[in-house]
A and B are shown apart, each in its own frame.
Chain A
Amino acid sequence: MHWASTFRSGAFRFALLLAAVFAAGSTAVLIVVERSISDYALEATAGSLQSEAAILSGEQREGGRADLLKAISRHRRAGTEQQFRYLLVDKGGVVLTTDFGTVRPGLGWGSVRVAENAGTGPSVETFKSLGVRLADSSLLVVATDTYDIQALRRELDDFTILCGVGITLFALIGGYLVGSLFMRRLERVNLSVGRIMEGSLAERLPTIGISPEFDRLTANLNRMLERIGALMEGLRQVSTDIAHDLRTPLTRLRQQLESVQEARSIEAYDSGVEVALIQTDEILAIFRALLRIGTLEGGAGRQRFERVHLSEIMDRVFQAYQPVAEDEGKMLTAEHARKTVVEGDGELLAQIFTNLIDNALVHTPPGTRIVSRLEMRQGRVIASVADDGPGIAASDRPNVVKRFYRLDRSRNLPGAGLGLALVAAIAALHDAHLELEDNRPGLAVRLIFPPGTATH
């Protein structure tokens, strides 16, 4: 990875953001700490000035001015470094003793700047002073240097800056580490997506980890890949089916056209072309059915669902077929529950029953009874078409709903083996359960709609 891209990377931005937040937070905390510590130091100074002033006032009260001056000089000598400075002025304004040179600090709190000649050379120091009026009306000023406080402040400032920078750096590094960990995991997912795009369709995305939400995301994406895979497999199957099963009718069409070429009379030519047209229409019908099954299996059409009157649809199909059944010497009857409503596509549902009754008519001998039934059982709508014809062997029942599957005995009958496949596709689109059962004798095809489809 290049440096430039490192800085542009999500990890770096994440780290930067984290560092900024930490920097702001720690700065605020350190400023508060620094303020309260220096306030505390100032208060401590003020306290010691007050107690020194109180002690000296006590000396003056008990032993008069002489004791006071003695006490002052004693205090001056105490310790290696002089802690307090003093000024005593009597009520006439005569300076009795001073540590401030010419400067005259007054009553109450104040600050005094005094030139010092301590070791390293002349310097100006700031003193905090407290002036009190003694019992004999003279003025006593006690002062102490603020050097320690300032030093403390400086050190606190240094500490604050150091800590702030440290924390920020720490956050920057930590953020970068966490961020790049995250990015590395995303990168793994990205690489995986790339491989899938390049064709390794069986591959699935690795989990991102870190949090359950991310894992849910990859799990969902994987489910999406499964679904797409299944759809693609379906499409592949359809194209393979088309390639295989259209070969036969196309071969027949080709032979037909060749024989038309050899026709020697206009009548033979005309009838030959007519047969070729019929064969072409059959091929187109297969195409149409396959396309429809394909789109239905893809789930297209569900967005057009509405509440449809299944009773009315089944009545319509029944009425359309009754004369056909009669002409073929079969008995078609209807037992339709009234006003049954389901959620679905009316046109597709009509096609289901058309195909089922069509099948029952085509695959049974004369004299067969066919019943189209619609009923409500345990809150579920059940539609069925049953006949007492030859039926389908139990072992064959799962096969007949497959595309192009035909029973041996019906190979010479019209059709391409797509009728039930289309029924199954439409049923699946409606979440309806399709059952093929032994009608003892005959076949019963039952369509059980999901619960919740109510009667009006």
Chain B
Amino acid sequence: MKLLLLEDDDSTRAHLERTLTAAGHVVDVCATGPDAIFLASSGEYAVLILDRMVPGVDGLGVLKALRSAGVQSPALFLTAMDGVHDRVEGLDAGADDYLVKPFAGIEFLARVNALLRRQPIVEVVTVLRVADLEVDLIKRTVRRAGRTIELQAQEFKLLEYLLRHAGEIVTRTMLLENVWSFHFDPRTNVIESHISRLRSKVDRGFGRELIQTVRGAGYRIDALG
């Protein structure tokens, strides 16, 4: 499972490559749009990480070219362009996620991981299970160790997102974007408050805590054990 990284700035490219390699990924790097198109046309990459602004053909152009050539690998855009419009444009071009520079290394890895785990063939999942927790997406019911747990709509959405990424780190920004559709960081601890409510319902009194806090990064559903 190789990754392709397109980034024109030498220092940033080296840093991101180190970050990915340290996390156990195999990475091919390139600095220009045409190189990225040439490499990615093989279709052998699990995730494409494209800098939006590179000389020559830019990230947007690279992705459009690859998508029209039938390359389906999920793509993550890295960009310094922060406008609402820029993100929509990126997603329209076929990007699966969009990360604004500068970003924390842990956030970057979490996004890449989320794309790596994405199933290419979307099978219809109706029940999510981790350990003794069971979430029925159709009946919208939650049970743990045989006991029914009542959740509010937002709490259900939050738990569903965490479970779909069980075992992975999910950052606060990812939760804000995917559960609340907020593409900006509120000052107050919106996520913390919701997580603590969810914990009090899902984890309290069940012995083992499924929702883990990853310090300085976000949360993770403990999928093991």
Closest to A324 in B: B193
Within 8 Å CB of A300, what residues of B?
83, 85
**B194 interfacial contact with A, CB 8 Å:** yes
Give the dominant DSSP class at B's interface: loop
Closest to A348 in B: B84
User: Are the C-beta atoms of B182 and A350 separated by less than 8 Å?
Assistant: yes
Q: How far is the CA of A292 from the CA of B184 in the complex (A)?
A: 11
User: Are the C-beta atoms of B180 and A316 separated by less than 8 Å?
Assistant: yes
CB distance from B159 to the nearest CB of A (A): 14
Q: Produce 1/0 per residue, B113-126, CB < 8 A to A.
A: 00000000000000
Closest to B195 in A: A323
User: Are the C-beta atoms of B83 and A324 separated by less than 8 Å?
Assistant: no
Within 8 Å CB of A327, what residues of B?
189, 193, 196
User: Are the C-beta atoms of B82 and A358 separated by less than 8 Å?
Assistant: no
**B183 interfacial contact with A, CB 8 Å:** yes
Given A304-B84, A348-B84, residue A324 in contact with residue B190 (CB < 8 A): yes
Within 8 Å CB of A324, what residues of B?
188-190, 193
Q: Produce 1/0 per residue, A71-96, CB < 8 A to B.
A: 00000000000000000000000000
Closest to A295 in B: B83
User: Are the C-beta atoms of A354 and B182 separated by less than 8 Å?
Assistant: yes
User: Are the C-beta atoms of B154 and A288 separated by less than 8 Å?
Assistant: no
Given A316-B181, A320-B154, residue A354 in contact with residue B83 (CB < 8 A): no
Within 8 Å CB of A320, what residues of B?
154, 180, 182, 186, 190, 194
User: Are the C-beta atoms of B184 and A354 separated by less than 8 Å?
Assistant: yes
**A291 interfacial contact with B, CB 8 Å:** yes
User: Are the C-beta atoms of A361 and B84 separated by less than 8 Å?
Assistant: no
Given A284-B102, A320-B182, A414-B187, residue A347 in contact with residue B197 (CB < 8 A): no
**B24 interfacial contact with A, CB 8 Å:** no
Closest to A347 in B: B84
Q: Produce 1/0 per residue, A331-352, CB < 8 A to B.
A: 0000000000000010110110
**A366 interfacial contact with B, CB 8 Å:** no
**A28 interfacial contact with B, CB 8 Å:** no
CB distance from A395 to the nearest CB of B (A): 26
CB distance from A297 to the nearest CB of B (A): 13
Q: Which of A274, A304, A354, A358 has the largest count of B CB atoms less than 10 A from its CB?
A: A354
**Complex partner residue of B190 from A274, A285, A304, A321, CB under 8 angstroms:** A321
**Complex partner residue of B84 from A277, A345, A414, CB under 8 angstroms:** A345
Closest to B184 in A: A351
Closest to A351 in B: B184
User: Are the C-beta atoms of A291 and B82 separated by less than 8 Å?
Assistant: yes
Closest to B180 in A: A320
**A362 interfacial contact with B, CB 8 Å:** yes
Q: How far is the CA of A284 from the CA of B103 in the complex (A)?
A: 10
Within 8 Å CB of B189, what residues of A?
324, 327
**Complex partner residue of A301 from B82, B84, B180, B183, CB under 8 angstroms:** B84
* Interface size class, chain B: 20 to 34
Q: How far is the CA of A285 from the CA of B185 in the complex (A)?
A: 9
**Complex partner residue of A326 from B181, B187, B190, B193, CB under 8 angstroms:** B193
User: Are the C-beta atoms of B182 and A415 separated by less than 8 Å?
Assistant: no
User: Are the C-beta atoms of A304 and B85 separated by less than 8 Å?
Assistant: yes
Closest to A345 in B: B84
Within 8 Å CB of A319, what residues of B?
153-154
CB distance from B130 to the nearest CB of A (A): 23
CB distance from B86 to the nearest CB of A (A): 10
Q: Which of B85, B154, B186 has the largest count of A CB atoms less than 10 A from its CB?
A: B186
**B216 interfacial contact with A, CB 8 Å:** yes
User: Are the C-beta atoms of B181 and A323 separated by less than 8 Å?
Assistant: no
User: Are the C-beta atoms of A301 and B182 separated by less than 8 Å?
Assistant: no
Given A316-B180, A316-B181, A350-B181, residue A358 in contact with residue B85 (CB < 8 A): no
Q: Produce 1/0 per residue, A265-297, CB < 8 A to B.
A: 000000000100100010011001001100100
Q: How far is the CA of A304 from the CA of B100 in the complex (A)?
A: 20
Within 8 Å CB of B104, what residues of A?
277, 281
Within 8 Å CB of A361, what residues of B?
188
Within 8 Å CB of A291, what residues of B?
82
Closest to A304 in B: B85
Q: Which of B88, B188, B193 has the largest count of A CB atoms less than 10 A from its CB?
A: B188
Within 8 Å CB of B184, what residues of A?
351, 354
Q: Produce 1/0 per residue, B141-162, CB < 8 A to A.
A: 0000000000001100000000
User: Are the C-beta atoms of B187 and A415 separated by less than 8 Å?
Assistant: yes
User: Are the C-beta atoms of B83 and A301 separated by less than 8 Å?
Assistant: yes
Q: How far is the CA of A316 from the CA of B181 in the complex (A)?
A: 9
Q: How far is the CA of A354 from the CA of B154 in the complex (A)?
A: 16
Q: How far is the CA of A351 from the CA of B82 in the complex (A)?
A: 14
Q: Produce 1/0 per residue, B94-136, CB < 8 A to A.
A: 0000001010100000000000000000000000000000000
Within 8 Å CB of A321, what residues of B?
188, 190
Closest to B153 in A: A319
Closest to A292 in B: B82
Chain B positions 180-220 with a Cβ under 8 Å from a chain A Cβ: 180-190, 193-194, 196-197, 216
Chain A positions 393-433 with a Cβ under 8 Å from a chain B Cβ: 414-415, 419
Q: Produce 1/0 per residue, A299-332, CB < 8 A to B.
A: 0110010000000000010011101101100000
Closest to B215 in A: A274
Within 8 Å CB of B154, what residues of A?
319-320
Q: How far is the CA of A83 from the CA of B190 in the complex (A)?
A: 122
Q: How far is the CA of A362 from the CA of B189 in the complex (A)?
A: 11
User: Are the C-beta atoms of B83 and A362 separated by less than 8 Å?
Assistant: no
Q: How far is the CA of A274 from the CA of B216 in the complex (A)?
A: 9
12 A/B residue pairs, CB under 8 Å, sorted by A? A291-B82, A300-B83, A304-B84, A304-B85, A319-B153, A320-B154, A323-B194, A324-B190, A327-B193, A347-B181, A347-B183, A348-B84
List residues of A whose CB falls within 8 A of some B CB: 274, 277, 281, 284-285, 288, 291-292, 295, 300-301, 304, 316, 319-321, 323-324, 326-327, 345, 347-348, 350-351, 354, 358, 361-362, 414-415, 419
List residues of B whose CB falls within 8 A of some A CB: 82-85, 88, 100, 102, 104, 153-154, 180-190, 193-194, 196-197, 216
Q: Which 5 residue pairs are nearest across A and B when measured between Cβ atoms?
A: A323-B193, A324-B193, A327-B193, A358-B187, A320-B190
